[in-house]
Chain A
Amino acid sequence: MITGRFFAAGADRRIAITIFILLAAAIIVPLLNLAVSPASAFYVPSYIVALTGKYLCYALLALALDLVWGYCGILSLGHGAFFALGGYAMGMYLMRQIGSRGVYGNPLLPDFMVFLNYKELPWFWYGFDHFWFAAIMVLAVPGLLAFVFGWFAFRSRVTGVYLSIITQAMTYALLLAFFRNDMGFGGNNGLTDFKDILGFNVQADATRSALFAASAVTLALAVFVTWAIVGSKYGKLLMAVRDAESRTRFLGWRAENVKLFAFTVSAVMAGIAGALYVPQVGIINPGEFEPSNSIEVVVWAAVGGRGTIVGPIIGALLVNAGKSWFTGVLPEFWLFALGGLFVAVTLFLPKGIVGMWDAWRGNARALRAASIAEEAGTDPDVPAPPKIVRSAARTPGEWSTSGPEPQPAE
């Protein structure tokens, strides 16, 4: 049924196009990098492959955040933590692959442990010699953390800003923890100096291209999964919780379970993004836990358009391309630009680029489609998400009459 809906034209055509572009990029970019001679005009330099591969991981992270923020109204300021945890799981696998080729040549311990006088491998490093184990951990660690955290938070109805602040506290606590040398994760230097992944040299062009392709395919898959979740009956529930949590609860749904599911799935997606990110940049350190990183992810999603599936991807690619360009040309103005972007997007572009595009192009058409659907007596498909976005933050009770926030005159 899902696939049938997928191939149906209309509102979901955009998803199909996105997936198609991503899959095409996964094939064409590596080809242009490896098979075309560097002299050719079509040659894609290796650094571009690595850079865009990194952006695709960011896009996946932004999509993960969008699932909870755009569709469920949970503004998580701690998604960077899930990203980094996935990255650390992958980094630990890559560290174990170095074997005795480290600077100290110790066959059992990674370099930093030799340096910090570890006598034996800490228990939590066991198993990371195997890729399958690391892959499970990439999914399990962020997923479990999100599950436990969400279990407590949603059950006791911590909502809105409070939730944002405690997610920020969570990533901050992890930042402090991972900075400690005796945590056994390399302290403030993190994990780096990787050699092999699955027996292939991480530095090699072919591996880079393969990682790029993996990122693109994973992103395409994530787009499909998100679309499937959002489009299902469960997705409607998700949006119901976002728009009117207490009403949903009064109707008999367990809002906390709905949120918990979305939060956990989103954390797992963020973890995968981190795992793909680490071999491409070659390092993972506690800086990834910085609360400011997590907030930056929010602005990617906001720029592209939250509550849409394509929006966060576009936002992540655009903002990061802008960042790369700015830091190269006008390094001291990047923070001005980023800050301005935060303000401008919230003030003038609440629906993001994609939302604006829809509003601009589709107003008349949406009306027409709605009337046709009415005549035909069928339900219009998935309600255009941007329409609901406006009220995303309007969880009733959040500023109900005695609530602390000022309210707009109604």
Chain B
Amino acid sequence: MAKTAKRPGEFLLQSARTQNSNSSGIAERMILLRALGLMLLFLLANLLPANAAEADLRAIIAKFAAAANFSATETVVRELAATGDPLVERPLAALAEGDLYVRKADSLVFVGREGGDSVELLDPLSGEKSGEAAKGDITKIKVNNTLRRVIRDALGTLTLRAKDPAVRIAAAATMFKTPDAANIEPLDAAIAAETDANVKALFEQARAASVLVSDRPEADKLAAISLIGARGDRDALSLLTSVEANSQGAVKDAATAASGNINSTLAFWDAGQNIWYGISLGSVLLLAAIGLAITFGVMGVINMAHGEMVMLGAYTTFVVQEVIRNSFPGLFDWSLVIALPLAFLVAALVGLAIERGVIRFLYGRPLETLLATWGVSLILQQAVRTIFGPTNQEVGNPSWMSGSFDVGQLAITWNRLWILVFSLCVFALLLYVMKRTPWGLQMRAVTANRRMAASMGIKTPWVDALTFALGSGIAGIAGVALSQIDNVSPNLGRGYIIDSFMVVVFGGVGNLWGTLVGAFSLGIVNKFLEPYAGAVLGKIVVLVLIILFIQKRPRGLFALKGRAVEA
């Protein structure tokens, strides 16, 4: 049951995994940026003017030792925060955690790291190790919740001045989402000091958000609304809706107008997003169906084992990645490039074996071919299940396929984009082979008139075998691409076979362009139906539409023209 229950879901874009790899990619990039930022920080800290400032900071920090109660400590915290120096982040954070200690012997303040009986003492500013102390020799500086809040606010303001733009952007985003009248002043200061135009704009939006929840005059609020309205994303919309609900008069009207504007831009972007998702699904369908377009479309052979060729390609990728992980970890980014020819070879060889072993005895009996290849697909599936086990295999994304970038309100993931590019390349290559090479000429000749072609000296059995191998090989390289977005399991092929047949039949048998148009139109229609009908119902509607379409045009969108009397 679990297996079948999963089926409808499998058909959908497997976005969960993509999302995962995205966030890990972003995390990596963040780490890199942070490392850069830290290096810069150290450089600056060790250079000239910092030393003077540092001495001042140390003087303030030393006051912690004298602070006898919470309010005294709070004064010191505020004093530290007022310096606006990013260096104070360390002692403040430590204080909030209760990790700031005073050494009884000399009243010096340290950040402590507890380990066993003794406490390791670190310099509060540089974080360098400066000795150890027994627990009895030091006093912890106590904090309560009020104090923690003060520290948190202070730190929040501090991040606005952080050297690293990414940190500043994150701070602005947080402040935008949780607007607070108290943020206005620090933001004003930050805006004045900011040099990066992008970050400055974000700060201004965050300030505008804070203005809206403050009790500033109406004119300020109206300006803030127009600023936020210009931002035009979902966060802005939700903010404006809440303003709309909580205010009266001109502010309310302005908020209504602005959110209306945002809604219409968002609708535009939603349509764009649907088209992109549709194109993305279409490229997946194209990849899965294009091999079938060769075997079914050109040769008229119903290959129900086509999905299993895709699966073999995906498993080849898995094996290649395993070998690389174990033996040549440095080559991981090249794993897909290495897997492509191998997957083509593996699938093409299996395809050749199927053609020579089974299909060639069944030419002219399409229904029998269907059954026999179905049997082959069962055997291949079970063979893979026996060798690799029934569970999903881990296939990683190389770094150049991870992550995403934004176009307006649209997040485009690299792996989807690469798959689109890849599917178009495969299509172009196949078109070239079919139209411009002697082999393609022979293939088309055999398709058009087998006996005539044979009379002209074309070895039709070889053309059949090679065509079938080509179709299977294409399915294999489709598997390499699909391994990046789908679960690599023995059932991988099953999910695609019906859709691929739909694409080929819809587009028109024997016509590669038909397959291209069929794949993308099915993909886009599917994604446009999804928001209205839901994923599963949308899929059903598409299937019913295709069934009705075939009634109207039994030979598909781009039918081959011929003189044959149709049965």
Contact = CB atoms under 8 A, between A and B. Distances in A.
A137 B321 CA distance: 55
A345 B361 CA distance: 12
B364 A173 contact: no
B448 A402 contact: yes
Given A169-B502, A338-B378, A160 B367 contact: yes
Contacts of B377: 339
A309 B450 CA distance: 37
Interface string B339-378: 0000000000000000000100111111111111011111
Contacts, number: 212
B546 A169 contact: yes
Interface string A279-296: 000000111001110010
B300 A399 contact: yes
B529 interface: no
B367 A161 contact: yes
Interface residues of B, number: 71
Contacts of A169: 498, 501-502, 543, 546-547
Given A149-B547, A394-B365, A406-B301, 7 more contacts: A170-B547, A246-B566, A339-B374, A397-B564, A399-B366, A403-B300, A405-B364
Given A340-B379, A343-B358, A404-B560, A157 B554 contact: yes
27 contacts: A152-B548, A156-B551, A165-B505, A166-B505, A166-B550, A169-B546, A169-B547, A179-B7, A246-B567, A295-B374, A299-B375, A336-B379, A338-B378, A339-B382, A340-B375, A342-B371, A342-B376, A343-B358, A394-B365, A395-B567, A397-B564, A400-B565, A401-B564, A402-B448, A404-B297, A404-B298, A405-B301
A393 interface: yes
Given A338-B375, A407-B450, A152 B567 contact: no
Contacts of B536: 176-177, 179-180
Given A157-B566, A162-B554, A405 B366 contact: yes
B449 interface: yes
Contacts of A246: 565-567
Interface in B441-457: 446-451, 454
A302 B374 CA distance: 13
Interface residues of A, number: 70
B15 interface: no
A81 B554 CA distance: 23
Contacts of B563: 401-402
B564 A291 contact: no
A335 B370 contact: no
Interface of A: 75, 149, 152-153, 155-162, 164-166, 168-170, 172-173, 175-177, 179-180, 188, 245-246, 285-287, 290-292, 295, 298-299, 302, 332-333, 335-336, 338-343, 345-347, 350, 392-409
Given A156-B554, A173-B540, A404-B509, A347 B548 contact: no
Contact of B464 (A172, A394, A399, A406): A406
A185 to B, nearest CB: 14
A350 B450 CA distance: 25
A396 B564 CA distance: 10
Contacts of A245: 567
B7 A175 contact: yes
B299 A405 contact: yes
Q: Which 10 A-B residue pairs are closest in the complex by CB-CB distance?
A: A342-B375, A405-B300, A402-B562, A339-B378, A397-B567, A339-B379, A335-B382, A404-B300, A400-B564, A173-B543
B371 A302 contact: yes
B434 to A, nearest CB: 14
Contacts of B8: 176, 179
B386 interface: yes
Contacts of B47: none
Nearest to B4: A287
A291 B370 CA distance: 13
Contacts of A345: 371
Interface in B430-474: 446-451, 454, 460, 464
B381 interface: yes
Contacts of B451: 401, 407, 409
Given A164-B370, A298-B371, A403-B562, A287 B554 contact: no
Interface string B519-549: 0000000000000000011011001101110
A335 B539 CA distance: 29
Interface string B281-305: 0000000000000000111111000
